[in-house]
Chains A and B, each alone.
Chain A
Amino acid sequence: MNAHVKIFLVGVLGVTLVLVALFVAVYGADSGAILRDVAGRTPLLLSGSADFSAFEGGFAANIVISLWAMALAAVAGTALGVGMISQSAVIRGPSVLVMNLLRNSPWLVVLYAMLYLLPFEVRIFGRFIEISPMIKATIGLALPVTANIAEVFRGGVESVPTGQWESARALGYRRLQILRRVVVPQAIPIMTPNLMTTYAMLFIGSSLVVVTGTHDVLSVARTVIASDGDHVATAVYLYILYLFFLFCFPIAILTRWLEQRVRVRK
C-alpha cells in the first residue's frame, strides 16, 4: 500500500501544481480576480443550483448518470457475458457479435442515436411516461459499457480453473447452477479491479452527455461562460479537469492496489 500512497500523493500534488501553473501562465496578473469569479461558481458547477439547494445538475448529474448507467450495464453485461460463454453456438455467435459491435461503436454516436431512437415519451398502462434527456443519456452510456462488462465477465469466468467446473459437474450441478454457485463467486475478486476500471472509464465518458441536453457539468460550464464572458473559459475548463481528476484518480489508485492484492493471493 505504501507505494500506492506515494504515487497518490505525488499525483494529487503534482497535478494541482501543474494546473495552477497553467492557470497563472494563461491569466498572469488577473489570476486572483478570475480565481475569485470561478470559485464563486462552485455551487453551480458542482450541483447545478446556485446554493447547493438541489443536486440535479452539474457534477452531481454526472455522478448520478454514471451510477445508473453502470447499474444498467452490469445487468445487461452479465446477461451478454453468460451468452458469450454459452455452449450453444446459436446463443454464443450473436452474443459475441453484439459485444464486438457495441465495443467498437463511438460513445458519441451511440448517444446521438439514442437521442433519436428512443421516443419522447412512452405509454405504459394508459399513463404517459416522459423519457427525459437524462434517461436517454443513461441508456446511451450504458450500451457501449455493456460490452466492456461482458468482456470482464467472460475473462473472470475463464480465469477460474476448469477443475472447478468438472468437480461441480460431478456433484450433479447444472451449468447455470455451477456458474452461479461455484464459478462466479470465485471470479468476483478477479473481476472487481476490471469493473472499477470500467466504471472510471464510464465516468470519464459521462462528460459526453452534454450533447443530449442534460444539465451535466459541461453544459453548466457553457452557461457560466456565456454569462461571465469568454475570458473565463480556460479557467472553467481547468476547474472541470481538476474535478474529474479528483474523482477518477483515487479510483485508479484503489484499482491498482486491489489488482496487486489479487495477484499476490494467487
Chain B
Amino acid sequence: MTLDYAWLLDPLYQRWLLNGISTTVLLSLLGIVLMFVIGIIGAAFLHLNVRYLQTPTTIFVELFRNTPPLVQLFFLYFMLSDIGLTLTDPATGRSIPLFTGFTCVVLSLGLYNGAIAVEIIRSGLLAVPSQTVEGARALGYTRLQTFRHVELPIGLRLCIPPMASNIVSLIKTSSQAVLVAVADVMYGATQIMLETFRNLEVMLLIWVVYLVITGVAVLIVRRIAAAVRIPGYGS
C-alpha cells in the first residue's frame, strides 16, 4: 500500500484545508469561552448553595454529561430551526437564521463540556484549603467577595490538569460539526475525498492536523498554568 499525497499541492485543496482549520479553531475557541462561562456560573450556584438554583443546576449537569454531544447537536439543530428565530442583516435587509449550524455546534460544545466543567471547577473549589477561606472571612470579606477574590482564583488554578483534558476533549468533539454541514477541517477533508478518492491519505492527514491542534492547545495551557502559578498551590 503506497500513500499518494500529490493532491496536497493543489492550491484549491490547500485553501479548503486552511479555511477548515481556521473554522475548527474558531469553533473551539468560542466553545471554550462558553464552556468556562457555564462551568463557572454552575459551579458558583452549587458551591454557594444558592437556594432554588442548586437542583436545576444538578439536573442540567446530569442531563448534558450523560448524553452524547452528537445527539445534543442534532436536537439543537432541529429544535432551533423549528423555532426559526431570525436576525435582520442591517446591510442587505435580508433575514438570516439566528441558529445556523455553526451556532448550534458552539452551543452543543459549550453545553456538553460546560456540564463537565461545572464538576471540574467545583472539585477545584473544594480543594481550596479551608484555612485560606477562613482567613478571608476573618479579614471581613463577605461570602461573595471570598468566592470572587479568594476561592475562584485559587480553585481555577487547582483544576488546570482536568480542565486541560476537558479542553482537548472539546477540540476533538468539534469534529462533529461536519455532520451538520459546518465547513470545518473535517468538512474540507470529506470534500477532498469526494474529488480525489484518496480517502485514507486525507483521513491520516486530518488525524495529524487534529493531533497538532490539540498538542498546541496543551502547550498553551501549560504556559498559562506556569504564568499564573501561585507558589504553594498546585504543582
* Residues of A participating in the B interface, judged by any CB pair closer than 8 Å: 7, 10-11, 14-15, 18-19, 22, 26, 101, 103-110, 112-113, 115-117, 200, 204-208, 210-211, 218, 230-231, 233-234, 237-238, 240-241, 244-245, 248-249, 252
Look across to chain B and name the residue whose beta carbon is closest to the beta carbon of A225.
Answer: B78
**A249–B71 touching, CB < 8 Å:** no
Bound complex: CA A240 to CA B67 (Å): 9
B101 nearest CB across to chain A (Å) = 14
Q: Which B residues between 26 and 63 are near A, CB-CB below 8 angstroms?
A: 55-56, 58-59, 62-63
Bound complex: CA A183 to CA B67 (Å): 35
Look across to chain A and name the residue whose beta carbon is closest to the beta carbon of B56.
Answer: A14
**A252–B179 touching, CB < 8 Å:** no
**A106–B74 touching, CB < 8 Å:** no
**B70–A104 touching, CB < 8 Å:** no
Q: Which B residues between 125 and 139 are near A, CB-CB below 8 angstroms?
A: none
Bound complex: CA A218 to CA B75 (Å): 11
With A14-B55, A106-B172, A109-B206 as contacts: A205 and B78 at CB distance below 8 Å = no
Bound complex: CA A188 to CA B199 (Å): 41
Bound complex: CA A73 to CA B95 (Å): 49
Stretch at the interface among B7-15, B153-161, B209-217, B220-228: B209-217
Chosen A-B contacts, 6 in total, with CB atoms closer than 8 Å, are A106-B173, A204-B69, A208-B68, A218-B70, A241-B63, A245-B67
**B203–A244 touching, CB < 8 Å:** no
**A211–B179 touching, CB < 8 Å:** yes
* Residues of B participating in the A interface, judged by any CB pair closer than 8 Å: 55-56, 58-59, 62-63, 65-72, 74-75, 78-79, 82-83, 168, 171-173, 175-176, 178-179, 186, 199-200, 203-204, 206-207, 210-211, 214-215, 218
User: How many residue-residue contacts, CB under 8 A, span A and B?
Assistant: 121
Bound complex: CA A230 to CA B200 (Å): 34
**A26–B82 touching, CB < 8 Å:** yes
Inter-chain contacts of A19 with B (CB < 8 A):
63
With A11-B59, A241-B71 as contacts: A109 and B79 at CB distance below 8 Å = no
Look across to chain B and name the residue whose beta carbon is closest to the beta carbon of A13.
Answer: B59
**A248–B70 touching, CB < 8 Å:** no
With A14-B59, A109-B207, A245-B67 as contacts: A26 and B179 at CB distance below 8 Å = no
Inter-chain contacts of B178 with A (CB < 8 A):
108
Q: Which 5 A-B pairs have the closest CB atoms?
A: A14-B59, A207-B68, A106-B172, A237-B75, A248-B66
Contact of A252 among B66, B71, B211 (CB under 8 A): B66
Inter-chain contacts of A116 with B (CB < 8 A):
199-200, 203
With A11-B62, A207-B68 as contacts: A26 and B207 at CB distance below 8 Å = no
Bound complex: CA A115 to CA B207 (Å): 14
Bound complex: CA A10 to CA B59 (Å): 7
Look across to chain B and name the residue whose beta carbon is closest to the beta carbon of A19.
Answer: B63
Inter-chain contacts of B72 with A (CB < 8 A):
241
